[in-house]
Structure 1
Amino acid sequence: MNKNSIYFIAFVLLSTIASIRSQSSTEKISSVPNQCVSKTKCGPCIQTPNCAWCMQPDFGERPRCFQPELTPTNPCPEEFVIDPRNEMIMIKEAALSRGGQLLSGGGMASGGTYEEQSSGQSSMSGSSSASGGSSASGGSSGSAGGSVVQISPQMVNLRMRVNEKHTMMVNYAQAEDYPVDLYYLMDLSKSMEDDKEKLSHLGDLLSDTMRNITSNFRLGFGSFVDKVLMPYVSTVPKKLQHPCDGCEAPYGYKNHMKLDMDTRQFAENVKNAHVSGNLDAPEGGFDAIMQAVVCEREIGWRERARHLLVFSTDAGFHYAGDGKLGGVITPNDGACHMERNMYTHSSIQDYPSISQINLKVKQHSINIIFAITAQQHEVYKKLSEHIEGSSSAVLSDDSSNVVDLVREEYKKIRSSVEMKDSASGSVKVTYFSKCLGNERKQTNKCDGLSVGDVVTFETEIVVTSCPENEKDRMQTFQIYPVAVGEALTVNLEMLCSCGCENSGPTFELNSPKCSGDGTLSCGICECNDGFFGGKCECSKKDLDSKFGIDNLKCRANATSLECSGQGNCVCGQCHCTPRPNPDEKISGKFCECDNFSCDRRNGLLCSGPDHGVCECKTCKCLQGWTGDACDCSTSVDTCMAPNGKECSGNGKCVCGQCECSSEKGVRYTGKYCEKCPTCPDKCDDLKSCVECQLYGKGPLKDANECAKNCTLFTPIPLETINYEEERDEHICTRYDEDECRYQFIYSETVEKNGTITTNVRAQKTPDCPPKVFLLGIVLGVIAAIVLVGLAMLLLWKLLTTIHDRREFARFEKERMMAKWDTGENPIYKQATSTFKNPTYAGK
């Protein structure tokens, strides 16, 4: 442990001593637990919600960090209390406007387009002045005289504590006849040739359509192909000049027409733009989007206008990392690189990433409309989900529906407002709004808006944590509608430190109140090197060495922890660490005791104050209770069996329950240890009386015998038997002389006079097996055998008859075929022979 660590521990120790002693002070703080008392410096104290710091120098040993709401009598004079509150100062609040008419929801204007209001020259420590506030991306936070105002207020200064929310209303209204800049960015690869021709004829119609929406409309045109590198574009010299029939040389991105109101020039530029060609399917659209967004001067984006970028293609896109295929490894810097309307760094820098595109679109307040053919629409639809303020729509194969597409998409954009903010990770902004309805809900987006509709967003701002760097505690961020060049600028000062830590009446270097060896800061001493203690009264000579005598005084023995690990050793004495809950105390010479580490039952310490109390980590039980957690009753009433013996004499009562014993190999069970494998079964003793009284059966079925021998109980007949073991009931199942099954339940209770009463509940109707007619079964079996035999004989007779008839028919057929023709018989010879004389001459 180094010297500074020792000093810090000593400082914390002496501060906590005040917390311990204050618990026994006559002026007690409320017993409600709070996290203020554990804070020993002003900065951490005011970073805790609802806590205040007392900087009074002579405040004694009470906790300086306290919760005013829980302190009945404020122990600190009001002039010494540091309890900063959230504060908002309005710097600029111009009224919302609709053309030359003011709308409700903004500042109260007396005339004209708006009237700028501010809070005067209210000072705010460390905050920005009204004139020095940051502006929204793409435009200033306020409005110049006579310009349109769509969000109000425009600038505020906030001073906020950690984890204490501040609610602020932000109003938005869409202005009428708001200027629109539309830049048409088109893929001019060979496959888009027919689309280009159609677009050149639709320029006037597109302009007329947009002028029906706003009279202040400008149109521009740009095109792209891909990086002029392999494998994107063929680098064969001939192909570099004419990559395809009727194609011009490939290029990355070209700005054909700056934003202008001349629609004829737009049609002429589209018509004169020649298509080109490339090798792979994806195009270099991301390069073109980046340049069209960031090159404000070259494109002609106006500061106060709705910016629309229509991106038209029938192919996919290259993104960051694809440039390595062509040997381009330099990341895209997101800057403008345009000369003579051509992108100069196409072959120098990689494609931009989706996140870079999203960042630049937000910074320059641009709505991208992806007009994509049906084959690629799903890809760009997913892409639009990652780019703020963008949307996608299906473009026809020849772009003939582009006018309708732009009109519909702009209508969607204009009828919706989405609030975003640029707050850092230590600031959280949550949005609530009723939109145009009556129900307040958590949302940052409202749809279905028309010109003149005022939407109010209730913003809850919370500083979640204090940045370690003090410079980061002064922040400026914007709350803005997506793709609208206006914003509310918030100059935020985080209240993380106290002014008395550096100056003021309670700040003094080498103060006598700190023994001249420390600085008085916010009422407490910050000791110089080599000194420590509540008043810097100790020097390094008083520090305990690792094996020093003073150090040993803080240990119960040589092997135990210093102050039992629950305190710090100062000058040979243990100072126990205070607990956040004032009811929990650590005590003892070596901080070895506490009143909160005892055993618990059902979450209660020592089973509750009516059972016992916790003293030095051990439960001290009250009379009638025992056990580690005082959860066992010493009474044996719950263990008394019906025979009047504790646990039937077969066990002992422990914590109100019987623990049965095992004697001579016999193990007893049951609530009162009344059961064992060889114990007589009382069910057999009660069986005869139950049978004769309810069913008129059994050995005592004679009425006189039954009445004479069954006098101890009368069974209660029940349709259904419900067995409840916890009520010490026993269920019996038996069979009568007719093999009928029945059940009964018996229980025994001990009366006040010591007699035992037996209660029996029995099944009203026994379950008897159905009667079997044996003679009928035997005759039926015989008859079935005879019938089966006759059926088999008849079947055999039928089969033999069929077989005989088939054999006879086959015999008759063979006999008929045996009558051969003599001329056909190969061994037949006539009875006479004829011979010819070869020498006979006919005479």
Structure 2
Amino acid sequence: MVALSMVLVFLLALSGGESELEAKISSPEKGTEWGDPDLSLPGSCQPAPTCQKCILSHPSCAWCKQLNFTASGKAEEQRCGQRQELLARGCPPGELEEPHGRQEVLQDQPLSQGDRGEGATQLAPQQVRVTLRPGEPQQLRVRFLRAEGYPVDLYYLMDLSYSMKDDLERVRQLGQDLLVGLQKVTHSVRIGFGSFVDKTVLPFVSTVPSKLLHPCPTRLERCQPPFSFHHVLSLTSDAKAFEREVGRQSVSGNLDSPEGGFDAILQAALCQEQIGWRNVSRLLVFTSDDTFHTAGDGKLGGIFMPSDGHCHLDSNGVYSRSPEFDYPSVGQVAQALSAANIQPIFAVTSATLPVYQELSKLIPKSAVGELSEDSSNVVQLIMDAYNSLSSTVTLEHSPLPPGVHVSYESQCGDPEKTEHKAGDRGQCNQVRINQTVNFLVTLRATHCLSEPHLLRFRALGFSEELTVELHTLCDCNCSDTQPQAPHCSNGQGLLQCGVCRDCAECGAFGTGPLATNCSIACASTNVTLALVPILDDGWCKERTLDNQLFFFLVEEEARGRVILRVRPQERGANHTLAIVLGCMGGIVAVGLGLVLAYRLSVEIYDRQEYNRFEKERQQLNWKQGSNPLYRSAITTTVNPHFQGAESPFL
């Protein structure tokens, strides 16, 4: 049993390996995936029957299209090999088909500072067409110039829970100082304002009617009803408008410590038209003295529907559907900020600083600063964070199509000191104004793309983009294509890349290059299937596109028509499955046989024992008088008077 099981496992493994190999060979439409090609590795380029399959088999493969390069009767797959190998075998260099990837720059405006930051060109080139041969990398150089005075939009998002009461007093005089500070680094700056508290459901906010109207501890304090997020002021360059609108605000209150800041961040990123974001550097300053609710916390208030990722501000700028949707996750917030190209600055108190520092690690191009108890240092904190963010240049790309990979090398300073950044982005830190940095972007495809793909690169925090029009090179472009070529069965075939694909394949099997117009291209050819033995060397040998070998014989008629007798090769039957099933059936049969034999032997033994018992029982003839196991019941009665009558005293 053990031996049979081991044989079965071996056969199953063999069958799986053969099936996998057959799938790789017989499915040319599915892309093949390579590692980095090692052109020095012998045998890395394997023979292939067509030029297309040849160049897709390995990036080091070339194809010789010279007529009669292969000897009569030899397989055309010998045309596929490495360049040096084919040249050594006598293929002229001009007859080699060895396509390579290429790139074409479509738009490359020179880097420039613009007019005081306006109209600057910081990213070049702007548009490139790249054609990739699968397995062969293409390297693209991207340049970035940090311009002076690049425009800035800053949205101030403030926690208005009751504990931020003293901070609000400080922020009311913040507008002018903030504009003056930012105008030192840019000539075009706008600021806006929004606030948040929490969802207006239990257990986050008291739903007692009086508390919903006035959630502050005492009635004497100025307080507004709780809310999730309120967009107060769209981005403007008017500092007085900022101070005026902030001056109208008052604190509110909630029950638990975490706040609904994630709802506010998500809506500020999604509602771009309402906020008024320009296509410039976008900063979102988030101030709070506590932590945040995240996805799943809404279930405490009976909210089970996940955040839908859409803008839901009403005409008053309030997030009206907050009680319907759960808090967003960290991933949703990070994705929304990245998609909107917004750089968040978390200005938080010392007690919650570690939490936001960990959060910042999950959000690209973000900064964290420690806020004083009354927000008195908020302007300097914003300036320091802005300088840190603007001096960090991070190049990233849009989502990749299947089978395409990107890696980066960052040249941040001295060209001699190149920092290799493998992964989904390149980065240079502490980039000075007017400094140019370079990124070497390596593109590699492992599969063929069904259609061109637009791949976008951008520097986070900046508005410009590089658009790469991505194509894959998955076929040969031989210049010798000739229908009804004299070289192919006296004009009855299509010559392509030095190989005939004649009417035999399309007429007999309905496949091949002529399959779509076989009746027209092969009008003067009569194709018949002939399941007869091959008796001489007059038969031609060819392979179909799915790599199946067949034979055909060319015969001419008096009226100029050609008769092609096609004999398909009988495919060798794959007996692996039959062997495996046979072994499994044998094991089951042997097992059943052993069980039946055991049950039969037990049954025979039981019947013999029973018959012996019955026979012995019938032979038993016990007599009641002598049977020691059988005695009649005896009752003895003693009469005391009778014994007394026999007494001598009577």
Helix, strand or coil: the match of 1:458? Answer: strand
The partner residue of 2:63 within 50, 53, 67 is: 53
Residue 306 in structure 1 maps to residue 281 in structure 2: yes
- Contact 1:478–1:489 (CA under 8 A) maintained in structure 2: yes
Residue 71 in structure 1 maps to residue 48 in structure 2: no
The partner residue of 2:463 within 485, 500, 516 is: 485
Looking at structure 1, the residues matched to 305 and 326 of structure 2 have their Cα atoms a distance apart, in angstroms, of 6
Residue 352 in structure 1 maps to residue 352 in structure 2: no
Deviation track 1:721-749 (CA, whole Å, cap 9, x = no partner) reads: xxxxxxxxxxxxxxxxxxxxxxxxxxxxx
Q: Name the aligned partner's letter for residue 385 of structure 1.
A: K
Residue 526 in structure 1 maps to residue 544 in structure 2: yes
Looking at structure 2, the residues matched to 295 and 483 of structure 1 have their Cα atoms a distance apart, in angstroms, of 18
- Contact 2:549–2:569 (CA under 8 A) maintained in structure 1: no
Looking at structure 2, the residues matched to 482 and 189 of structure 1 have their Cα atoms a distance apart, in angstroms, of 32
| Residue of structure 2 equivalent to 1:87 | 102
Looking at structure 1, the residues matched to 512 and 89 of structure 2 have their Cα atoms a distance apart, in angstroms, of 23
| Residue of structure 2 equivalent to 1:822 | none
- Contact 1:11–1:533 (CA under 8 A) maintained in structure 2: no
Assess, with a 3 A threshold, how the Cα gap between structure 1 residues 275 and 61 changes in structure 2: closer, same or farther.
same
Deviation track 1:594-639 (CA, whole Å, cap 9, x = no partner) reads: xxxxxxxxxxxxxxxxxxxxxxxxxxxxxxxxxxxxxxxxxxxxxx
Assess, with a 3 A threshold, how the Cα gap between structure 1 residues 520 and 319 changes in structure 2: closer, same or farther.
same
The partner residue of 1:160 within 118, 132, 151 is: 132
Deviation track 1:355-393 (CA, whole Å, cap 9, x = no partner) reads: 111112121111100001000010000101100111101
Q: Find the structure with the greater CA-based Rg.
A: 1
Assess, with a 3 A threshold, how the Cα gap between structure 1 residues 460 and 388 changes in structure 2: closer, same or farther.
same
- Contact 1:431–1:458 (CA under 8 A) maintained in structure 2: yes
Q: Name the aligned partner's letter for residue 517 of structure 1.
A: A
The partner residue of 2:229 within 227, 238, 253 is: 253
Residue 381 in structure 1 maps to residue 395 in structure 2: no
| Residue of structure 1 equivalent to 2:258 | 282
Within 5 Å, give how 1:8-27 maps onto structure 2: none
The partner residue of 1:176 within 137, 148, 151 is: 148
The partner residue of 2:372 within 396, 401, 423 is: 396
Deviation track 1:85-137 (CA, whole Å, cap 9, x = no partner) reads: 11101111111111249xxxxxxxxxxx9xxxxxxxxxxxxxxxxxxxxxxxx
Instruction: Return the offset for 1:248.
Output: 1.2
| Residue of structure 2 equivalent to 1:327 | 302
- Contact 1:42–1:65 (CA under 8 A) maintained in structure 2: yes
Looking at structure 2, the residues matched to 335 and 31 of structure 1 have their Cα atoms a distance apart, in angstroms, of 54
Instruction: Return the offset for 1:428.
Output: 2.6
- Contact 1:37–1:64 (CA under 8 A) maintained in structure 2: no
- Contact 2:542–2:550 (CA under 8 A) maintained in structure 1: no
Instruction: Return the offset for 1:458.
Output: 2.0
- Contact 1:220–1:260 (CA under 8 A) maintained in structure 2: yes
- Contact 2:146–2:434 (CA under 8 A) maintained in structure 1: yes
| Residue of structure 1 equivalent to 2:387 | 411
Within 5 Å, give how 1:673-684 maps onto structure 2: none
Q: Name the aligned partner's letter for residue 458 of structure 1.
A: L
- Contact 2:114–2:121 (CA under 8 A) maintained in structure 1: no
Q: Name the aligned partner's letter for residue 313 of structure 1.
A: S
Deviation track 1:63-97 (CA, whole Å, cap 9, x = no partner) reads: 23211133333655667644221110111111111
Instruction: Return the offset for 1:11.
Output: 13
Instruction: Return the offset for 1:504.
Output: 7.4
Looking at structure 2, the residues matched to 394 and 89 of structure 1 have their Cα atoms a distance apart, in angstroms, of 48
**TM score, norm. by length of structure 1:** 0.52
Instruction: Return the offset for 1:35.
Output: 2.4
Q: Name the aligned partner's letter for residue 46 of structure 1.
A: I
Looking at structure 2, the residues matched to 541 and 46 of structure 1 have their Cα atoms a distance apart, in angstroms, of 27
Residue 428 in structure 1 maps to residue 405 in structure 2: yes
Looking at structure 2, the residues matched to 154 and 306 of structure 1 have their Cα atoms a distance apart, in angstroms, of 18
| Residue of structure 2 equivalent to 1:294 | 270
| Residue of structure 2 equivalent to 1:97 | 112
Q: Name the aligned partner's letter for residue 68 of structure 1.
A: R
Within 5 Å, give how 1:453-468 maps onto structure 2: 453-463=435-445, 465-466=446-447
Assess, with a 3 A threshold, how the Cα gap between structure 1 residues 211 and 545 changes in structure 2: closer, same or farther.
closer
Q: Name the aligned partner's letter for residue 295 of structure 2.
A: A
5+ residue gaps in structure 2? 1-17, 29-38, 484-493, 515-540, 554-564, 584-650
**TM score, norm. by length of structure 2:** 0.67
Looking at structure 2, the residues matched to 166 and 201 of structure 1 have their Cα atoms a distance apart, in angstroms, of 54
- Contact 2:504–2:566 (CA under 8 A) maintained in structure 1: no
| Residue of structure 1 equivalent to 2:503 | 512
- Contact 2:183–2:189 (CA under 8 A) maintained in structure 1: yes
- Contact 1:314–1:376 (CA under 8 A) maintained in structure 2: yes
Helix, strand or coil: the match of 1:193? Answer: helix
Q: Name the aligned partner's letter for residue 37 of structure 1.
A: Q
Looking at structure 2, the residues matched to 277 and 415 of structure 1 have their Cα atoms a distance apart, in angstroms, of 38
Instruction: Return the offset for 1:343.
Output: 1.0
Looking at structure 1, the residues matched to 40 and 458 of structure 2 have their Cα atoms a distance apart, in angstroms, of 46
| Residue of structure 1 equivalent to 2:311 | 336
| Residue of structure 2 equivalent to 1:700 | none
Instruction: Return the offset for 1:56.
Output: 6.5
- Contact 1:515–1:535 (CA under 8 A) maintained in structure 2: no
Q: Name the aligned partner's letter for residue 84 of structure 1.
A: P
- Contact 2:107–2:126 (CA under 8 A) maintained in structure 1: yes
Within 5 Å, give how 1:719-798 maps onto structure 2: none
- Contact 1:513–1:520 (CA under 8 A) maintained in structure 2: no
Assess, with a 3 A threshold, how the Cα gap between structure 1 residues 448 and 32 changes in structure 2: closer, same or farther.
closer
Within 5 Å, give how 1:802-813 maps onto structure 2: none
Within 5 Å, give how 1:478-627 maps onto structure 2: 478-498=456-476, 506=494, 511-512=502-503, 514=505, 516-518=507-509, 519-521=511-513, 525-526=543-544, 533=550, 542-543=570-571
Instruction: Return the offset for 1:441.
Output: 2.2
- Contact 1:329–1:350 (CA under 8 A) maintained in structure 2: yes
Instruction: Return the offset for 1:191.
Output: 0.4
- Contact 1:11–1:532 (CA under 8 A) maintained in structure 2: no
Deviation track 1:754-789 (CA, whole Å, cap 9, x = no partner) reads: xxxxxxxxxxxxxxxxxxxxxxxxxxxxxxxxxxxx
Assess, with a 3 A threshold, how the Cα gap between structure 1 residues 356 and 74 changes in structure 2: closer, same or farther.
farther
Q: Name the aligned partner's letter for residue 75 of structure 2.
A: E
Q: Name the aligned partner's letter for residue 363 of structure 1.
A: A
Looking at structure 1, the residues matched to 178 and 134 of structure 2 have their Cα atoms a distance apart, in angstroms, of 52
Assess, with a 3 A threshold, how the Cα gap between structure 1 residues 504 and 295 changes in structure 2: closer, same or farther.
farther
Q: Name the aligned partner's letter for residue 233 of structure 1.
A: V
Looking at structure 1, the residues matched to 23 and 226 of structure 2 have their Cα atoms a distance apart, in angstroms, of 75
Looking at structure 2, the residues matched to 358 and 524 of structure 1 have their Cα atoms a distance apart, in angstroms, of 58
**How many percent identity over aligned positions?**
35
Instruction: Return the offset for 1:538.
Output: 6.5
State how many pairs are aligned: 479
- Contact 2:544–2:550 (CA under 8 A) maintained in structure 1: no
Looking at structure 1, the residues matched to 52 and 93 of structure 2 have their Cα atoms a distance apart, in angstroms, of 19
Instruction: Return the offset for 1:262.
Output: 0.8
Q: Name the aligned partner's letter for residue 327 of structure 1.
A: G
Q: Name the aligned partner's letter for residue 241 of structure 1.
A: L
Looking at structure 2, the residues matched to 411 and 160 of structure 1 have their Cα atoms a distance apart, in angstroms, of 39
Q: Name the aligned partner's letter for residue 65 of structure 1.
A: C
Assess, with a 3 A threshold, how the Cα gap between structure 1 residues 361 and 540 changes in structure 2: closer, same or farther.
same
The partner residue of 2:419 within 441, 444, 450 is: 441
| Residue of structure 2 equivalent to 1:596 | none
| Residue of structure 1 equivalent to 2:246 | 270
Looking at structure 2, the residues matched to 11 and 100 of structure 1 have their Cα atoms a distance apart, in angstroms, of 58
Looking at structure 2, the residues matched to 201 and 485 of structure 1 have their Cα atoms a distance apart, in angstroms, of 31
- Contact 2:206–2:212 (CA under 8 A) maintained in structure 1: yes
